[in-house]
Every structure is written in structure tokens, then in C-alpha cells.
Structure 1
Amino acid sequence: MTDPNSLAAPLRSWAEKTLGPLTAVRRLPPGSSPAAVWQVVRGSDNARFHLKTAPSPGAFTRETFAYRHAVPALGPGNAPRLVATSARHLAMILTALPGAPLSQARLSETALRTVHWRAGMLVAELHQAGRPTPTTRREASAFLSRLADAAARHADAAGDQLSSAERQFVTALADHLRVLDRLPLGFVHGGGIESALRWSGTARPALQDFDRARFAPVVVDFVHLDCVLWAERPLLRAAFFEGYGRAPGAEEQQALRCLTGLHAVRSLAEGSTCGDRAAARTVLDRLKSEVGV
């Protein structure tokens, strides 16, 4: 039986050519990214690194671009640093961040509000990093339309988890999302922000996992937080946007409602655990009640 902690020989050989001999290798549990990640320890100084293999060439391209062109704007210690890449292996070596995912932190309400305020500042810095080319600007403007186009497929996959009225509601959300064309663009993380934030006991969290990063309407980075956490704890939402520097505008509020609903339907269709589906159902029911469906 293959040791799940082991690295394939070609991958380990590349890593050791870059870092030197490794004394420990450990496969990390899945996090906010679908990539495979190992923690490796360099023998010469016991420094820890993460060796990450992307799930696809597109994810590799997005993440390496992010680390080279946008992540440096976050400042030292606020995100991993890119050490080396291998397009052949779809692999990258990153410095390891201290701490644990913010979603696992046990903090007082006051401390958590401070962390979310700091997280808002960090996400704002990411959104302002880099300048889109004409091509990436066009792609960013079309991003929400692609999400709207996928709604019918996700609704079909959800099957009898959605009523006929709910399918009509999902269609209305998707149609409305397509006409929102004055949304602020920026360089977005694109994944689950709360799971990608790490906290190590300092007031300011760090951000990792940029395999979904791209230029897009910045509102997409608020969806995962808005689905459950902010709905249950609105003071955290207020703290985040105070740190971010502004509250969502009117069109962004509309987009956030639509995106949250479509994300819930996708979770119903693809959720791998009862908890995911239960949370998605709660979100969908909340949105329906707000508009009287």
C-alpha cells in the first residue's frame, strides 16, 4: 500500500534540488483548495515549506500568477511566499504560514470582530493589487454571466431537493445577475475566504490558497462569508467592511444576494456532506423569505 504521506519520486527529486535534502514529509488534510499539499521540512535548518500540486494547468497558472503579481502587495507575513515552481509537475513550493485556519479558531466575539476587521483590510489590499489588461478586464466583466449560465445545470443536478417554485426563483436570480454591469472589479481570491484565512495569535490574519484567483467583480469574495457566518453574526460583517474601507454598493448588494443563492444551489447539487446541504438549504430558505417566495 502506498504511503499517503510520500511524494512521488520525480516530485521529491525536484523539491530536493530546490530546497536540499528533506527530513520530513507530511500530507496535509484538505483545506480551502482542491490542491494536494504536503508539508516538508528542510534538513539543513528545519525550515518548513508547503509543496503544492495544482489540480489542473489552469489552477497552476492562476496561482503562480497571483503569487508573482498580486500577493506581494499584501506585505511580508500576510501570505505565503513563492519559492519555486515546476510547470512539468504543476507544482509550487511555498513558505509555510504559522497558525491554523481562522474557521477553526476559538476566539471571543470581541477578538473575532478585530480579526474580521483586519481581514477586511487584507482583502481590500488584494482587490487593489495589480492592473488588469484589456483581455482580463473583459474576462472579469463576463465572469458573473458564466456563473449565471451554470445555474440551470446546478438546479437540474439538485433534483428533487428543489421545488418548482424554487427553480423559478433560481432562474430569476441568474437572470438578474446577468444585467448587473457596473460592479467594481479587482483581483479576487475566488475561494472560500474564511477557510483560506490563517490566524496565529496576532491581530492580523494571513491569506493563502490562490488557485481560484483572477480579476473579477470583487463581490465574489464575499459570498462564502455571507452564506452562513455573516447571516448568523452580522457584527462580523460590519467589522469586515469597516476594515475593507467601504460597504457594498447597491448593485453589489443585489449581486451578493444572487450569488449567495446560486452558491447555495450549487452546494445542494454537489455537497458531499449533510452539513453542506443543510447549510445550503438554510441559505436558500432565508433568501426566499426575504423576497416572499
Structure 2
Amino acid sequence: MSGATTLPDSVRAWAESVVGPLTSLDDAPSAACSSPSRVWEVTAGRQGGGDRFWVKLAASPLAFTRETFAHRHAVSYLGPGRAPRLTATSAQHLALITTTVPGTPLSALTATGAALEAVHRKAGALVAQLHQAGKPTRAAREEAGRALRHTADRAERSVRAAGEQLPPAEREFMLAHTAGLRDAGRVPLGYIHGGLDEHALRWSGVRAPLALVDFQRARFAPVVLDFVPLACGPWVGQPRLRTAFFTGYGRRLLPEEKRALYCLTALRAVGRTARQPGPARHFPHHAEGAL
């Protein structure tokens, strides 16, 4: 994610009406996970001190609505220090002001072995809390129940649109996994983060709580969707991290979730390798290493 260096004048005026004069402003590319949103870290108050906030311009009205809802109705389930706190929103500007949270993204941690497993165990416990946040409306539950089928439909449309640009083996691989996703069966629903990669999780040491940032994709959906970025990232080749996460999460994957996760990680892996230069494609490895 990247942000413009200068906060738009209208947004700055609104922010200062909420938190007071801004004495410093920095582009904050690490304030949330990769996204088209723009984020600044600002200081309100005396120079060299004062309170620090993130000012975020959402990428779309939907992203603004989702993030606002998450902060107002779900973040409190995580407990103190585990997520930024909402200070104000402006629908006119698609802007939010939140408190900042300290910490290093998991992607930048140098921890290994048992120390890293402990981090993933805490991550599992934190994500479990989020997944249990609130109760969906009937409409939200019905939409969440259709999410995997819609994901399969989108993937299949992409394959059909690509036509002969896709190698035959890759085309058949994707179509087989879209079919498998439709046949995965009923899976548990919950309130998901929607962008749960290593960058969204912030570690401040063993004495501080693990924190989550960037809720612009948060919504009610199959909880298995939140495991895909981790299954395609740090868990590949490191099954102990996956085990630690689900120990913290409090349960193992159901058979239906295992099938769905296998298909989702396979489709994601294909999407990544399709954008890489060169003729070699080893897309099945990611899916096999994820489970």
C-alpha cells in the first residue's frame, strides 16, 4: 500500500476539526496491509509530542463501509491493544481516523523455531476472537453462505476469459479446483478479516498483545477464507506454524474446510504464478504445502 505524501487539504481540515492542529504528517505505507487505500500517520498537539493517529482514505465506498462497521461493531471483541481504535469517520471523504498500534509485521520478524510458533499460536487465538464477533443479519448470513460458490464462479470466468492464453494444464488445473470448491460442502461462517496476511498482524513482543490492522475487507463469510494468505505464505514448508496457529485458534479444520482451503490455495497459487515471467509453473506446490 502506498499513500500520497500530502494529505488533501479538505481531509486535513476535517482531521484537524476532530483531533486539533496537525504538527507532523508522514506517509505511512506500513499502517495496513497491501491495498489501494492511502494512509498517513499524523501527530496532533505540540511539536515533538502529542497524540498520534492514522488518517486513512478508503479505496472505495464499500471498503469505507466495511472498515467503519468493523471498528464500530467487531474490534471491541478483540480486547485492548489488539487493533486500532476508531476516532472519527467522514463518509464525504471516505476517510477514517484511528489510533495507531505499535508492532512489527509478522513478515518482518526475525524470530524462528519455538518463538515464531508462539507468535502464530497467538495469531490463531486473536483470529478466533474476530471470527466470533457479533451476529450477522439474515441477509449477511445468506450472502456469506454463497461466498465460496461466488469465488469459484469468478475464478472460472477468469479462466474462460483467458482462453488460449492459459496453458492447457493450467486451465484444467484451475477448472478442477473451481469444481472442487463448489463441492466442498457447508463450512463454518464468521466475521472475517478478509486480508489476513503477515503484514496485517503486528507483534510487539511477548509482553504485549498481538494486534490486527486494516479491516477494509472485513465481513461475514466462510472463516476458511482468512486462512488462505497464511496457507500460501508462512505455512508453506513450515507445518509447525500451521499447527501452532490452529492450536491457538482452538480447533482443527473440518473436512469440508480442508477441501475448500486446498482449492482456494491452489487457485491463489495459480493466480500468482500466472503473473510471473518465464515458462516454468509449479503451482500445485503451494496447495500441497498448505495442508
Q: How high is the TM-score relative to the length of structure 1?
A: 0.89
Residue equivalent to 1:251: 256
Change (3 A) 1:180 1:236: same
Residue equivalent to 1:206: 211
The Cα offsets for residues 232-269 of structure 1, whole Å up to 9 and x where unpaired, read as 11100000000000110101000000111111233345
Residue equivalent to 2:77: 73
Q: What is the distance in 2 between the residues matched to 1:222 and 1:161?
A: 30
Per mean C-alpha deviation after superposition, the further-off stretch among 164-173 and 66-75 is: 164-173
> How far apart are residue 157 of structure 1 and its match?
6.9
- Aligned partners of 2:232 and 2:287 also within 8 Å: no
3-state SS, counterpart of residue 258 of structure 1 = helix
Residue equivalent to 2:148: 144
The Cα offsets for residues 21-42 of structure 1, whole Å up to 9 and x where unpaired, read as 0111111226514111000011
Q: What is the distance in 2 between the residues matched to 1:283 and 1:211?
A: 28
Q: What is the distance in 2 between the residues matched to 1:78 and 1:200?
A: 11
Residue equivalent to 1:15: 15
- Aligned partners of 2:88 and 2:96 also within 8 Å: yes
Residue equivalent to 2:115: 111
- Aligned partners of 1:161 and 1:268 also within 8 Å: no
Q: What is the distance in 2 between the residues matched to 1:230 and 1:289?
A: 7
3-state SS, counterpart of residue 89 of structure 1 = coil
Residue equivalent to 1:193: 197
Q: What letter matches 2:41 in structure 1?
A: Q
Residue equivalent to 2:245: 240
1:32 paired to 2:33: yes
Q: What is the distance in 1 between the residues matched to 2:21 and 2:130?
A: 34
3-state SS, counterpart of residue 101 of structure 2 = coil
Change (3 A) 1:284 1:225: same
- Aligned partners of 1:158 and 1:265 also within 8 Å: no
Change (3 A) 1:50 1:251: same
| Matched pairs, number | 282
Q: What letter matches 2:181 in structure 1?
A: L
Q: Which has the higher helix share?
A: 1
- Aligned partners of 2:236 and 2:286 also within 8 Å: no
Q: What is the distance in 2 between the residues matched to 1:220 and 1:257?
A: 11
Q: How does 1:262-277 map to 2 (within 5 A)?
A: 262-269=267-274, 271=275, 274=276
Q: What letter matches 1:134 in structure 2?
A: R
- Aligned partners of 2:273 and 2:282 also within 8 Å: no
User: Unpaired segments of 5 or more residues in structure 2?
Assistant: none
> How far apart are residue 289 of structure 1 and its match?
10
User: Unpaired segments of 5 or more residues in structure 1?
Assistant: none
1:63 paired to 2:67: yes
Q: How high is the TM-score relative to the length of structure 2?
A: 0.90
- Aligned partners of 1:26 and 1:38 also within 8 Å: yes
Change (3 A) 1:69 1:288: closer
> How far apart are residue 283 of structure 1 and its match?
4.3
Q: What is the distance in 1 between the residues matched to 2:181 and 2:96?
A: 35
Change (3 A) 1:287 1:223: closer
Q: What is the distance in 1 between the residues matched to 2:289 and 2:110?
A: 31
3-state SS, counterpart of residue 236 of structure 2 = helix
Q: What letter matches 1:230 in structure 2?
A: W
> How far apart are residue 158 of structure 1 and its match?
6.6
Residue equivalent to 2:184: 180
